[in-house]
């Protein structure tokens, strides 16, 4: 055999081995990639995600005139036995355009919502809405929420705040747990409801509450009674009803800080006109049947 023929055959065999090695490496890479995707998918499926869409959501002035057959309805994340109706926002809701602000809160003043309490008991409380007032100006409350607090007894926040002029200030996202009520219990149709998530603090409604506060009028700072409190503006009532109209929380689970408080220190919101609020709420949302 001539040297050139022998060299050609050796080169050809070497190329075949090289091609085989490349194919094997590519196949291994695809397998690793597939395993990684499978692992990520498995981990994702095991992660429990709680969607708190029953709470009011930020509209950001984007609401449009609702259509009769395609009206958006906020769906509850809680599975119920064949619901027959939902709240749906109305044309009055779409036409009302409150100003809004988005303000960041220091992470020390809010936390995650828990799926179990301190004893590991699963939690399935339906959402409630708790109404507050600031006690002083809106800016003073916001400034407090933006300061880091290491003392758990001092940490505080609302999900939203409504200024005297009706501006809606979004503070803590609905899916997070705002520290709006300390020692607190909600008395509902199912009995007493409260959750302890911190062994060093008394139980509270925070884990299943959405906290909304009204800015206190300047002439009522430090007011502790209805006689010395001038009440809230029309714009505040309208914006409050507009905000809560976005939720699926029923009227019998809308309460006040005074009613849930167990420290005997909270009396807010003072001089709150519940009838006016409920009339506006019924103007901005209505119960619509679900057809099957």
38 and 102 part of one domain: no
Span 97-126, mean pLDDT?
96
Residue 42 has pLDDT above 70, yes or no: no
Beta bridge partners of 235: none
User: 75 falls in which pLDDT band (50, 70, 90)?
Assistant: very low
Q: Give the pLDDT score at 82.
A: 57
Contact 241, 280 (CB under 8 A): yes
User: 291 falls in which pLDDT band (50, 70, 90)?
Assistant: confident
181 and 263 part of one domain: yes
22 and 110 part of one domain: no
Q: Give the pLDDT score at 67.
A: 45
Q: Give the pLDDT score at 18.
A: 54
Q: Is residue 147 part of a domain?
A: yes
Q: Give the pLDDT score at 55.
A: 77
Among the ranges given (79-93, 116-130, 250-264), the one the predictor scored with the smallest mean pLDDT = 79-93
User: 141 falls in which pLDDT band (50, 70, 90)?
Assistant: very high
Q: Give the pLDDT score at 59.
A: 61
Separation between Cα atoms, residue 212 and residue 268, nearest integer Å:
11
140 and 197 part of one domain: yes
Average pLDDT, the chain: 81
189 and 282 part of one domain: yes
Q: Is residue 63 part of a domain?
A: no
Residues 242-272 have pLDDT tens digits of 999 999 999 999 999 999 999 999 999 999 9
Residue 3 has pLDDT above 60, yes or no: no
The residues, ordered by sequence, that sit 6+ positions from 285 with a Cβ below 8 Å of its Cβ are 87, 88, 89, 90, 93, 245, 246
Q: Give the pLDDT score at 74.
A: 34
Residue 81 has pLDDT above 70, yes or no: no
38 and 110 part of one domain: no
Tokens in use for 56?
């009011």
Domain of residue 198 covers 85-289
CB atoms within 10 A of CB 35: 10
Coil, helix or strand at residue 118: coil
Angle at 222 between CA 220 and CA 226, to 5 degrees: 55
CB atoms within 10 A of CB 157: 27
Tokens in use for 139?
């800016």
Residues 154-205 have pLDDT tens digits of 999 999 999 999 999 999 999 999 999 999 999 999 899 999 999 999 999 9
User: 84 falls in which pLDDT band (50, 70, 90)?
Assistant: confident
Separation between Cα atoms, residue 255 and residue 275, nearest integer Å:
13
Say what the pTM is.
Answer: 0.75
Helix residue ranges, H only, the chain: 3-46, 91-95, 138-145, 234-244, 257-260, 274-284
Separation between Cα atoms, residue 285 and residue 287, nearest integer Å:
7
26 and 99 part of one domain: no
Separation between Cα atoms, residue 131 and residue 5, nearest integer Å:
93
CATH of the domain at 96: 3.40.80.10
Residue 101 has pLDDT above 90, yes or no: yes
CB atoms within 10 A of CB 191: 8
* Helical packing angle, 234-244 and 274-284, nearest 10°: 50
Q: Is residue 271 part of a domain?
A: yes
Separation between Cα atoms, residue 188 and residue 116, nearest integer Å:
20
More confident residue, 11 or 41: 11
Count of structural domains within the chain: 2
Q: How many residues comprise the chain? A: 292
Span 98-114, mean pLDDT?
96
Residue 22 has pLDDT above 90, yes or no: no
Q: Give the pLDDT score at 170.
A: 97
């Amino acid at each position: 055999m001539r040297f050139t023929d022998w060299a050609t055959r050796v080169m050809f065999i070497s190329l075949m081995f090289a091609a085989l090695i490349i194919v094997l490496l590519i196949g291994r890479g695809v397998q690793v990639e597939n395993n990684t995707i499978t692992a990520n998918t498995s981990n994702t499926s095991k992660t429990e995600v709680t969607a708190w869409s029953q709470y009011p959501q930020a509209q950001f002035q984007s609401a449009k005139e609702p259509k009769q057959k395609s009206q958006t309805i906020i769906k509850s994340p809680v599975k119920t036995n064949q619901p027959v109706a939902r709240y749906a926002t109305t044309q009055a809701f779409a036409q009302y355009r409150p100003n809004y602000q988005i303000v960041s809160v220091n992470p020390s003043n809010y936390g995650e919502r828990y799926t179990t309490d301190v004893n590991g008991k699963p939690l399935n409380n339906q959402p409630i809405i708790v109404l507050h007032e600031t006690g002083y100006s809106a800016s003073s409350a916001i400034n407090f929420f933006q300061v880091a607090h290491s003392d758990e007894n001092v940490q505080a926040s609302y999900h939203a705040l409504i200024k005297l002029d009706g501006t809606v200030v979004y503070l803590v996202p609905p899916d997070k747990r705002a520290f709006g009520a300390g020692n607190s219990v909600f008395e509902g149709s199912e009995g007493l409801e409260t959750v302890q998530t911190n062994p060093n603090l008394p139980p509270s409604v925070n884990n299943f509450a959405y906290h909304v506060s009204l800015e206190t009028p300047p002439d009522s700072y430090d007011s502790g009674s209805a006689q010395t409190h001038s009440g809230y503006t029309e714009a505040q009532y309208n914006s409050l009803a507009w905000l809560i109209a976005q939720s699926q929380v029923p009227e019998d689970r809308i309460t006040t800080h005074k009613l849930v408080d167990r420290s005997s220190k909270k009396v807010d919101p003072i001089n709150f006109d519940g009838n006016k609020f409920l009339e506006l709420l019924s103007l901005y949302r209505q119960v619509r049947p679900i057809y099957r």
